[in-house]
Each structure stands twice: as C-alpha cells, then as structure tokens.
A and B are shown apart, each in its own frame.
Chain A
Amino acid sequence: MSFGTVLFLILALIAVVSAVGMLTSTNAVHAALFLVTNFVCIALFYLGLNAPFLAMVQITIYTGAIMVLFLFVIMLLGAAQVSLRSTLRWHGPLAVVLVLMLIGVAGVMAFSPAVNNNLTSPLALQEASTAFGSPQAVGEVLFSNYLLPFQMVGILLLVAMIGAVVLTREAKKPTRQPGPEESSPAGE
C-alpha cells in the first residue's frame, strides 16, 4: 500500500468520522465544528486532485464564511442544545434502511467491473501537466467558456443577499390598517 493510499484512507476516515459526529451530536456548536473538520479534509482532497484553487475556495468560503455564519446564527438564537428524539414513527428505521441502500448502490456503481476502466485504475496513470487545475487555468475557463453563468451566479448572490435582508428585517410597522383618519390626511 503506497503512502498516497494510506494518506487517503486516513483523511477519508477523518472525514467520515467527523460527518457521523455531526450527525449524532446533541450540541449544535459541536456539530458545526465537526462539519468544519470535514470541510478541511475535503479541501485537502482537492489539493490531492490537482485543484489548489478549489482548495482555497473551500477553506475561505465554506469554513471561513459559511460555517462562521452557521455558528453566528446558533449563538444568535441560543439554540445550541438540540434533541435527537424523533416524533415520527416508522420514519427513522425506514430512513436508515434507505440510506444504507444508497451506500450500497454507490459501492456497486463505483466498483462494478462494467464501469469505465478509468475509474478503477490509480489516478497516477493519467498524466497531468503541472498547469492543470492551477488558478490561472481555472480562471481562464471561468472567464471565457463560463462567462455568462459566472455573471448569472453573481446576480444570484446579489438576489440571495437582498432576500436574506428582506426576510430578517424587523417588521417596523406591523400590518398597516388604513384607518379613516389615515386615508384622508388632507382633511386634518
């Protein structure tokens, strides 16, 4: 077993354990920290997959911005303690069965002999140039082939920002009822 494989397995173990930790945690803050661990692992995988740009984005946006936002909301709402109990009968067992089936299907698809040869052979066999996945390469594609989607995603972010502002805004004037004196201010 090569060093790369060992490293992969260790990181994968950390990722899965942290994910399960998030799943089972009774404290929302802990859950968020488990998830951060998981995201860092994934960032490291990106590095190993010749995607340094994605690794940086993953760290800055996910762990840096999104997870901080999560933590901020948890603190704001004071909802750190959460219950694990489910109120729905049949729901939990059925969900577990289906999730296991999902993993099974994923395994069969990943290792079935019928799938593409490329997937089962080690990635080292595919020679990658040093430029592949560099921020420059990604940027060139992003600003040429994907320029329109890029702009649209920018608009999407703007819309989401405005939406978040509108949703959380305190209703200053609760449901205005036009009273008789309000409707004719000129008469005063």
Chain B
Amino acid sequence: MNGLFSIAPLIIAAPFAGMLVNIAFGRRLMPNKDSIGPGLVASSMAGVSFLVALLMFVALLGSPQGADVPVLTWIDIQGGDISLNIPWTLKVDTLSSVMMLVVSGVGTVIHVYAIGYMHGDIDEKAYLRGLHGEEALDFKRRRYVKFFTFFNLFLGSMLILVTGNNYLMMFVGWELVGLCSYLLIGFWFDSPEANESGKIVGVLNSEAGKKAFIVNRVGDFGMLLALMLIFWTFGTLKFDDVFARAAAAAPTTPIPLGPFTPALGAVVTVITLLLLLGATGKSAQIPLFVWLPDAMAGPTPVSALIHAATMVTAGVYMIARSNVLYAMAPVSGMTVAVIGGLTAFVSGTIAVAQFDIKRVLAYSTISQLGFMFAAVGLGGYIAGIFHLATHAFFKALLFLSAGSVMHGMEHGHHAMAEGEHGGGGGDEGHPFDPQDMRQMGGLHKHMKTTTWVYIVGALALSGIPPLAGFWSKDEILLEASLNSTLVYVLLGAATFFTALYMGRQIFMVFFGSERSEAARHAHESPPLMTTPLIVLAVLAIIGGLMNLPFGGFNQLGHWLERSVVNAHTGSFNIDVSITSTVLGLLAIGISYLLYGRKPLEEGQRDPLSTTGPVFTFLNHKWYWDELYDALFVRPFNRLSEFLANTIDWAFWHDFVHDGIIAQFVEGSSRSLRRVQTGYVRNYALAVLLGVVAILVYLVVRFLV
C-alpha cells in the first residue's frame, strides 16, 4: 500500500477540527466587526482537506487500485452464524477521489466566498432587526461562528459520505449532511422579515428546513430498508464484499429471506429501487424534489455548496458506487433513467416561469441532477460523474454569482435608503426583495465581473461548446440516444428549456434598464467574493478537458474504469452534438427575442405570461406542492387531529382515564382511607401483625 494513503483520515479530521476550534474559540477570534477569524479557520481547514484530496490523487496515480484505510473499530458484533463487523475504514479509489476533489475543492472556494458574503448577509440582517453597536457585534459574532461551524461540519460529513468503504458509513454521512442541510436552510430560522418582505419564497426559513428534513426522511426510509435488505441478503455491508458476492452468484440463485425465497435478481431489483428512493430524496428527483426549491431560503453559499454542488449529488455517487447492483437489475436502471429524464424536463419547464433568481437556479439544479440520474440509470456512469463534476463548477459559480448580485442589490438598497435620509424606500408600491429578477435589470453597468462570470456559467450550463457543460451534457445525451428514445427526447427538451431559462435570466438581470432604485445603486462585491467566482469561471470553461471524447483525452473515463466496474468511455457523435448545440442556441435566440431585444420596463409583465394558463401552470411549479398538500399533508393532518382529539382525548383521556380508571381509583381510595386512622398505636399494631405473621411462617417452615 502506498504510504500516502495512510493520511486519508486527515481529509475528514480537518473540517471537524475546524468545527471544534470554532465552537471553542470562534467568538474570541472575532474581536471586532470586520474580523474574519472564524471564516479563515474554516476555510483553511477546508483547504487542508483539498490538499489531502490532491495527495490522494497523487497516490492513486502511483497505485491506481486504491486502498482501504482502516481508522477505527466501529461495530463489532460476533454472532453465531452471522456476525456484523464494520470497522471505520476509508475507501480511497478513483471514484471516491473524484468526489473528494470536487467536494473539497469546490467546498474550499465556497468557504472563501462565504467569508465575505456572510459578513454582508449578517450585517444586513442585523440592520433589518434594528441592532446597533455592541448588540449588533454580539449578534454577528454568534451567527458568523455558527455558520462556519455548520459549514465545516457539512464538509466533514460529506467527505464521510464519499470515503466510507461500506453502506453504513455512507448512511452516516448521508444523515449528517441531511442534518447540516436542515441546520443551514434554517440558518435564519428566527428571521422576522422572511414573511413580510414579500419574498416569492412561500415558506419561512425554519419551515423550509423542516420540509427538507421531512421529505428527506421519506427517502432515508427507503435507504435504510435497502441497507437492511443488503445485509440480510449478502451478510455484509462492505462495498467490495457486497459486489463480489452479488457478481459471483447467478441471478436465479434463491435467497432465503424469512418465509420467502426469491431469486437473487428480484432481491437486487428491490434493493436498487429502495436505494433509488433514498437517492430521489437526497438528490431532489421526482417524486421527492419539492424540498430543494424551498431550501433556497438558506444563505447563498449554502445553496451553492450543499444544494447545488455536493450534497444533492450524493444520490448520483451512490448509484455509481452501486453500479454492480444496478447492472444486475435492468428494471431499476431504466426506472432511474426515466425518473431522471422526467425530472430534468419538468423542472426545466418550471424554471422558465420563476422570478426569484435563486429559485430559477434551484430548478435548474434539479433538472441537471435529472441529467445525471438519466446517465447513471442508462449505465453511463462516467458521463454521470463527469456531469456531476462540471455541474459542481458552473452551478456553484452561478449560485455564488447570484449571491453577489443579491449582495450588490442589498447594498444598493442601503445606499439609497441612507441617501434619502428617512425619505422612505424608493419602492413604496412593492416591498424590496433582493432576489426578485423583476426588480433587477441593467446590472452589467454596475457589476462587471459578476456579469461576465455569470454569462460564462450560463453558457456552460446551456451546453454551448466548448465550455465544460457541453462536453458532459453531450455525453449524457449520447448515452440516451443509444439506449432510450424516451429519455433522449425528454433530455433534449430539457436542454432546450435550460438554455431558455438561462438566457431569460441573463437578459432580465444584467441587461436592459434598471427596474428599481436598488438596482440603480448596486455595486460590485468585494474581491474576497469575486476571486472565487473567477476561479470557478475558469473551471467552468476548462472543466471539459477532464474527459474530452476524443482519442486519448478521455482521462476521467480511464480513471474511473478502475473502480466503476461497468463503466464504458463515451464516444463522440456529431449528430447528437449538433442537435444539442442547435437546441441551446435556438433557446438563447428565443430568449433574446423575448427579453433582450425589447427589455422589460419597470412594472411590465413577463412576455411569457401571454401564454396564460400555461405560464400560470409553470409558475405554480405544475402544482406539485398543492398536489402533495392534498394527497399527503392534509390527510395526514386530519389523521393527526383525529388521533389527537378523538382517540387520545375523547377515548383515552375522557373515557378510559377520567371515566374508568379515575372512578375506580377514587372509589377504592375513598374506602381505603379509613385504614389511615392517624393513631400511632394502630400503626404499631399493624407492624406487630406483620412481625407475628412472619415469625409464625418461619416457625412453621423450619421448626415444625
């Protein structure tokens, strides 16, 4: 084993160390309003993780078969014929190394960005709450430290998820990132202004956090069942052993599961479908995608890191990791692909009709995750992981740029409010919302860097050559065109809508005339925020070099082939490429016609709204929330009310307890109380009675 592998545990230890340092000393690291101590600690620890990930990469170049690095004895239960032995072991192979690099690399960049962004964000919130001086400083200290504590915790958890060498460790990471997601979505849980500022976000931040957590619970339930079934079937949870045992047996082998003995193939199909349920929760696919748009209530770095680049891709990673199982269950694979295609299409159409800059990106993320699902479902594991990596670059870029835009808008709002000296906000009619694209426009005049990197990200996302998104998306489309016409058509349509909503967004946000005072006073964000944007923009441009589909350039494919057994490198099909590029350019052209040629004026309605009910339907997200509300939430509430009011109160409390038990107790105690005469001599007599009884018993027992 290469000696370098032995430092692998550091990759997880570093973020956790950063978290502990921030918990213990974070507030002391912030002596004044502008200090960035906690952010520096967190970012440098993320940097250490990235460094270790790079070293792992180097080590893998030397010994590409990878290594299992044992860290701790974790679960060690010796049973009769079956034993559960799961040590805490890190798996360093080419697949996990790609994930490590993406997670820690993008994570580091976003950590650095958050140093600057959270300063502005917390100041804004303190301002909105009317906090000043020492109060504001204390508020800032607490929130700033809290943010980076959670952020480090997330990074560590995500790295546990991708480095575990068994399903249980993956599940631990899976749950931990879910927890961090919940904590960070609800970061402004006590936000008093969340409701009143007229945000499109329909739910309070804490509600959004709960929604994410509960929806994920549905998925995690499937995941947990899958884990149990895996252990029941294969007697182990370790990836290598599970896959080896699955591959060794014929699909028709009967598996004894309690009273049933289904064939191995059927069991694996059930396992993979249950895993898919878990993946749809974490990776926001139909039917469990509804939480992700609301998750945008969290601070923007959170949306970028957790809800675009890393955590939501966990499902893709998990399916790629379980490729042996999915290869054995073609039904499950096809289900994954169709779900991915449908999700990509549905959320792509929804994104076109949204006005909140982050919501558009959220639906775009769901749509792109659908692409990845379609790829891994059809067996294109390399295409899926490739798109995962490039998407992490450009979607993080887009989110962070959107954050920069919001940052600029908020500053513009402040500058304007202070300039007028209490003359009231400029937008008396409609409340200020830094995320509403209808209040933006013309920002390229004020935010040059942000505009350029945003355009780069948008083009990469739209799949315009030669940017990163083109290559990865093309590979997915190629897989689809070869394997499933249905998925291919869905993905093609999704490609069109992707370019359409990105074009719409660019023209609405950055071009035309300013549609609010805040936009007129907006200015560029500090270099601490724009530098990460430039880094990510460069990655979004050159990211495709990882896996060019020509000759010797498909490095990622060869790299992954060593750990993904069923991987096959993609080829290049000029027809598919031309189709997708033409679709993208066409959509951008349409968006120019609609939004670019004649820019929106202040208060003007969206040109697409002329489509009437179609636009309303899309704007209301296909009424998914309403459907779930009617299907699950309200019946569940009614059931809860029935159980609470009728069963618990009326039956158990009023009837059983108050009626039967209380009556009995009251009646019996009414007569038993006479025993307590209050005369000490009576009590003494009772004691003597007992003594004599015991003595008589002893005499009879032993002497007679």
List residues of chain A with CB under 8 Å of any chain B CB.
Answer: 88, 91, 94-95, 98-99, 101-102, 105, 108-109, 112, 114-115
Instruction: Give chain A residues whose Cβ lies under 8 Å from the Cβ of B579.
Output: none
Nearest-neighbour CB distance to chain A for B690, whole angstroms, equals 10
In this complex, what residue of B is CB-closest to A88? Answer: B679
- Say whether A112 contacts B688, CB under 8 Å: no
Question: Whole-angstrom distance between the alpha carbons of A158 and B521 in the complex?
Answer: 86
* Closest A-B pairs by Cβ, 8 of them: A112-B703, A105-B695, A114-B703, A101-B692, A98-B688, A98-B692, A108-B699, A105-B699
Q: Is B675 an interface residue (CB 8 A)?
A: no
Q: Is B689 an interface residue (CB 8 A)?
A: yes
Nearest-neighbour CB distance to chain B for A43, whole angstroms, equals 28
Question: Whole-angstrom distance between the alpha carbons of A98 and B689 in the complex?
Answer: 7
What are 24 inter-chain pairs, A to B, with CB distance below 8 A? A88-B679, A88-B681, A91-B682, A95-B685, A95-B688, A98-B685, A98-B688, A98-B689, A98-B692, A99-B688, A101-B692, A102-B691, A102-B692, A102-B695, A105-B695, A105-B699, A108-B699, A108-B703, A109-B695, A109-B699, A109-B703, A112-B699, A114-B703, A115-B703
Q: Which of B682, B689, B702 contacts A88 (CB 8 A)?
A: B682
Instruction: Give chain A residues whose Cβ lies under 8 Å from the Cβ of B679.
Output: 88
Q: Is B248 an interface residue (CB 8 A)?
A: no
- Say whether A105 contacts B696, CB under 8 Å: yes
Nearest-neighbour CB distance to chain B for A176, whole angstroms, equals 31
Say whether chain B's binding surface is mostly helix, strand, loop, or mixed: helix
Instruction: Give chain B residues whose Cβ lies under 8 Å from the Cβ of A102.
Output: 688, 691-692, 695
In this complex, what residue of A is CB-closest to B689? Answer: A98
Nearest-neighbour CB distance to chain B for A102, whole angstroms, equals 6
In this complex, what residue of B is CB-closest to A101? Answer: B692
Question: Whole-angstrom distance between the alpha carbons of A80 and B656 in the complex?
Answer: 59
Nearest-neighbour CB distance to chain A for B501, whole angstroms, equals 74
Among B521-574, those with CB < 8 Å from A are none
Question: Whole-angstrom distance between the alpha carbons of A91 and B685 in the complex?
Answer: 8
Given A88-B679, A102-B695, A105-B696, are A94 and B702 neighbors across the interface (CB < 8 Å)?
A: no
Interface residues of B, count at CB 8 A: 13
Question: Whole-angstrom distance between the alpha carbons of A88 and B699 in the complex?
Answer: 31
Question: Whole-angstrom distance between the alpha carbons of A95 and B695 in the complex?
Answer: 16
- Say whether A94 contacts B685, CB under 8 Å: yes
Given A98-B689, A101-B692, A105-B696, are A114 and B702 neighbors across the interface (CB < 8 Å)?
A: yes
Nearest-neighbour CB distance to chain A for B689, whole angstroms, equals 6
Instruction: Give chain B residues whose Cβ lies under 8 Å from the Cβ of A114.
Output: 702-703
Nearest-neighbour CB distance to chain A for B547, whole angstroms, equals 82
Question: Whole-angstrom distance between the alpha carbons of A167 and B682 in the complex?
Answer: 26
Among B610-652, those with CB < 8 Å from A are none
In this complex, what residue of B is CB-closest to A86? Answer: B681
Q: Which of A105, A108, A109, A115 contacts B692 (CB 8 A)?
A: A105
Question: Whole-angstrom distance between the alpha carbons of A105 and B693 in the complex?
Answer: 10
Nearest-neighbour CB distance to chain A for B699, whole angstroms, equals 6
Q: A91-B685, A102-B691, A114-B703 are in contact. List 9 more A-B contacts (CB 8 A).
A: A88-B679, A91-B681, A98-B688, A99-B688, A102-B692, A105-B695, A105-B696, A108-B699, A109-B695
Instruction: Give chain A residues whose Cβ lies under 8 Å from the Cβ of B689.
Output: 98
Instruction: Give chain B residues whose Cβ lies under 8 Å from the Cβ of A94.
Output: 685
Question: Whole-angstrom distance between the alpha carbons of A44 and B695 in the complex?
Answer: 30
In this complex, what residue of B is CB-closest to A99? Answer: B688
The proximity string for B residues 664-692 relative to A, scoring 1 for CB distances below 8 Å and 0 otherwise, is 00000000000000010110010011011
Instruction: Give chain B residues whose Cβ lies under 8 Å from the Cβ of A88.
Output: 679, 681-682
Among B319-354, those with CB < 8 Å from A are none
Question: Whole-angstrom distance between the alpha carbons of A114 and B681 in the complex?
Answer: 35
Question: Whole-angstrom distance between the alpha carbons of A99 and B688 in the complex?
Answer: 8
- Say whether A101 contacts B682, CB under 8 Å: no
In this complex, what residue of A is CB-closest to B703? Answer: A112
Question: Whole-angstrom distance between the alpha carbons of A105 and B694 in the complex?
Answer: 11
- Say whether B696 contacts A101, CB under 8 Å: yes
Nearest-neighbour CB distance to chain B for A127, whole angstroms, equals 29
The proximity string for B residues 437-480 relative to A, scoring 1 for CB distances below 8 Å and 0 otherwise, is 00000000000000000000000000000000000000000000
Question: Whole-angstrom distance between the alpha carbons of A29 and B699 in the complex?
Answer: 39
Instruction: Give chain A residues whose Cβ lies under 8 Å from the Cβ of B682.
Output: 88, 91
Question: Whole-angstrom distance between the alpha carbons of A33 and B689 in the complex?
Answer: 30
Question: Whole-angstrom distance between the alpha carbons of A134 and B685 in the complex?
Answer: 40
Nearest-neighbour CB distance to chain A for B704, whole angstroms, equals 8
Instruction: Give chain A residues whose Cβ lies under 8 Å from the Cβ of B685.
Output: 91, 94-95, 98
Instruction: Give chain B residues whose Cβ lies under 8 Å from the Cβ of A105.
Output: 692, 695-696, 699
Nearest-neighbour CB distance to chain A for B480, whole angstroms, equals 87
Instruction: Give chain A residues whose Cβ lies under 8 Å from the Cβ of B699.
Output: 105, 108-109, 112
Instruction: Give chain B residues whose Cβ lies under 8 Å from the Cβ of A108.
Output: 699, 703
Question: Whole-angstrom distance between the alpha carbons of A112 and B685 in the complex?
Answer: 27
Nearest-neighbour CB distance to chain B for A125, whole angstroms, equals 23
Instruction: Give chain A residues whose Cβ lies under 8 Å from the Cβ of B696.
Output: 101, 105
Nearest-neighbour CB distance to chain A for B678, whole angstroms, equals 11
Question: Whole-angstrom distance between the alpha carbons of A94 and B685 in the complex?
Answer: 8
Instruction: Give chain A residues whose Cβ lies under 8 Å from the Cβ of B688.
Output: 95, 98-99, 102
Instruction: Give chain B residues whose Cβ lies under 8 Å from the Cβ of A115.
Output: 703
Instruction: Give chain B residues whose Cβ lies under 8 Å from the Cβ of A109.
Output: 695, 699, 703
Question: Whole-angstrom distance between the alpha carbons of A101 and B695 in the complex?
Answer: 10
Nearest-neighbour CB distance to chain A for B70, whole angstroms, equals 54
Instruction: Give chain A residues whose Cβ lies under 8 Å from the Cβ of B681.
Output: 88, 91
In this complex, what residue of B is CB-closest to A112? Answer: B703
Question: Whole-angstrom distance between the alpha carbons of A88 and B685 in the complex?
Answer: 12
Instruction: Give chain B residues whose Cβ lies under 8 Å from the Cβ of A91.
Output: 681-682, 685
Instruction: Give chain B residues whose Cβ lies under 8 Å from the Cβ of A98.
Output: 685, 688-689, 692
Instruction: Give chain A residues whose Cβ lies under 8 Å from the Cβ of B695.
Output: 102, 105, 109
Question: Whole-angstrom distance between the alpha carbons of A104 and B682 in the complex?
Answer: 22
Instruction: Give chain B residues whose Cβ lies under 8 Å from the Cβ of A95.
Output: 685, 688
Among B370-412, those with CB < 8 Å from A are none
Nearest-neighbour CB distance to chain B for A117, whole angstroms, equals 14
Question: Whole-angstrom distance between the alpha carbons of A24 and B432 in the complex?
Answer: 99
In this complex, what residue of A is CB-closest to B684? Answer: A95
Question: Whole-angstrom distance between the alpha carbons of A102 and B679 in the complex?
Answer: 22
Nearest-neighbour CB distance to chain B for A50, whole angstroms, equals 29
Question: Whole-angstrom distance between the alpha carbons of A108 and B679 in the complex?
Answer: 32
In this complex, what residue of B is CB-closest to A102? Answer: B692
Nearest-neighbour CB distance to chain B for A2, whole angstroms, equals 28
Question: Whole-angstrom distance between the alpha carbons of A94 and B689 in the complex?
Answer: 9
Instruction: Give chain A residues whose Cβ lies under 8 Å from the Cβ of B692.
Output: 98, 101-102, 105
Question: Whole-angstrom distance between the alpha carbons of A112 and B701 in the complex?
Answer: 13
Question: Whole-angstrom distance between the alpha carbons of A164 and B688 in the complex?
Answer: 29
Nearest-neighbour CB distance to chain B for A140, whole angstroms, equals 36
Question: Whole-angstrom distance between the alpha carbons of A112 and B682 in the complex?
Answer: 32
Question: Whole-angstrom distance between the alpha carbons of A112 and B699 in the complex?
Answer: 10
In this complex, what residue of A is CB-closest to B691? Answer: A102
Question: Whole-angstrom distance between the alpha carbons of A95 and B688 in the complex?
Answer: 9
Question: Whole-angstrom distance between the alpha carbons of A144 and B688 in the complex?
Answer: 37
Nearest-neighbour CB distance to chain B for A157, whole angstroms, equals 25
Question: Whole-angstrom distance between the alpha carbons of A112 and B702 in the complex?
Answer: 10
In this complex, what residue of B is CB-closest to A95? Answer: B685
Question: Whole-angstrom distance between the alpha carbons of A29 and B343 in the complex?
Answer: 103
Question: Whole-angstrom distance between the alpha carbons of A4 and B679 in the complex?
Answer: 45
Nearest-neighbour CB distance to chain A for B701, whole angstroms, equals 11
Question: Whole-angstrom distance between the alpha carbons of A102 and B681 in the complex?
Answer: 17
Question: Whole-angstrom distance between the alpha carbons of A144 and B679 in the complex?
Answer: 44
